[in-house]
Amino acid sequence: MLSRPEIESGYPTELQSFAELLRSLSPEEAATPSRCEGWSVADVGAHVAGGLTDVVNLNLDGAGTPEWTQRQVDERRGRTPAELADEIDGATKQAVDLMAAFDDAAWNGPIPAGGLPGTIGTGIEGLFYDVFLHGDDIRAATGRPSAGGPGLRVSVHHVAGLLTDRGYRGVTLGLDGIDEVDVSGGGEKITGDPLQFVLAATGRRDPAPLGLGADINVYAD
């Protein structure tokens, strides 16, 4: 997990970047299918906007389930990317204020609603990662170059935590330009491009060219 200051500074910046990405989309790009099965680019934006609104309003019943995310998309069907961006901008201030309201004990304590696993800190780290990853989904669908920076760094760290929680074998992620991160206590080193690793670990690309098996996918049953 990243430090609290890194998450608190990086998450709002990632949300702003995502909103700017949405505003740059043409109607044709918004209608383009994404690599998120069954979702267009606009649907991806609707999920991110809806997820943020749900979180800041503590509407966490069923959080993370397909039904929870699909409801966010369905409720925003027909909205323009600019309207979704406006929703994100409005909810970002609420998110910043909410993060600041947690003392360190609460940050490292359980999530108070929805019966979700982990701590408030790991939950917000997961939101940060989710925004970066879905931004890359949109960039891939519309032919834009991928981004890096803090969003990629948080994604590597968060995926390492997810793999550890799933009981993945002990490895050390020694990916290009990212500090080493241990999975399940560390072990054999995995090297290479961090974005390609994150895409493989989230089922978005074939892990075989990286020398990894299908068990690297944190979302596999």
pLDDT (tens digit per residue) in 110-162 = 987 666 788 999 999 999 999 999 999 999 999 999 999 999 999 999 999 99
Q: How many CA atoms lie within 13 A of 188 on its CB side?
A: 5
Token representation of residue 2: 């990243």
Beta-ladder partners of 175 = 192
The sign one gets for the Cα dihedral 197, 157, 33, 29 is negative
Work out the percent of the chain whose per-residue pLDDT is above 70.
99
| Residue 4 CB neighbours (<10 A) | 17
Looking up tokens 């979704």, which residue turns up?
84
Looking up tokens 């968060």, which residue turns up?
158
| Residue 110 one-letter amino acid | P
220 vs 79, which has greater pLDDT? 79
Q: If residue 84 lies in a helix (H) or strand (E), which one and from where to where?
A: helix 81-101
Residue 189 — φ and ψ, nearest 5°?
Answer: -85, 135
Residues 41/142, Cβ–Cβ less than 8 Å: yes
What is the structure's pLDDT at 64?
A: 85
Per-residue burial over 19-41, b = 16 or more CB atoms within 10 Å of its CB, e = otherwise: bebbeebeeebbeeebebeebbb
Residues 6 or more apart whose Cβ sits within 8 Å of residue 198: 133, 152, 155, 156, 159
Residue 24 has pLDDT above 90, yes or no: yes
Q: If residue 172 lies in a helix (H) or strand (E), which one and from where to where?
A: strand 171-175
| Residue 129 CB neighbours (<10 A) | 26
Give residue limits of the domains in the chain. 4-147, 151-216
**Mean per-residue pLDDT for 31-38?**
96
**Mean per-residue pLDDT for 15-26?**
98
What is the structure's pLDDT at 114?
A: 60
What is the structure's pLDDT at 7?
A: 96
How is domain 4-147 classified at the architecture level of CATH? Up-down Bundle (1.20)
What is the structure's pLDDT at 115?
A: 62
Residues 6 or more apart whose Cβ sits within 8 Å of residue 62: 68, 114
Residue 2 has pLDDT above 80, yes or no: yes
pLDDT band, very low/low/confident/very high, at 80 (cuts 50, 70, 90): very high
Specify the CATH class of 151-216 in words: alpha beta
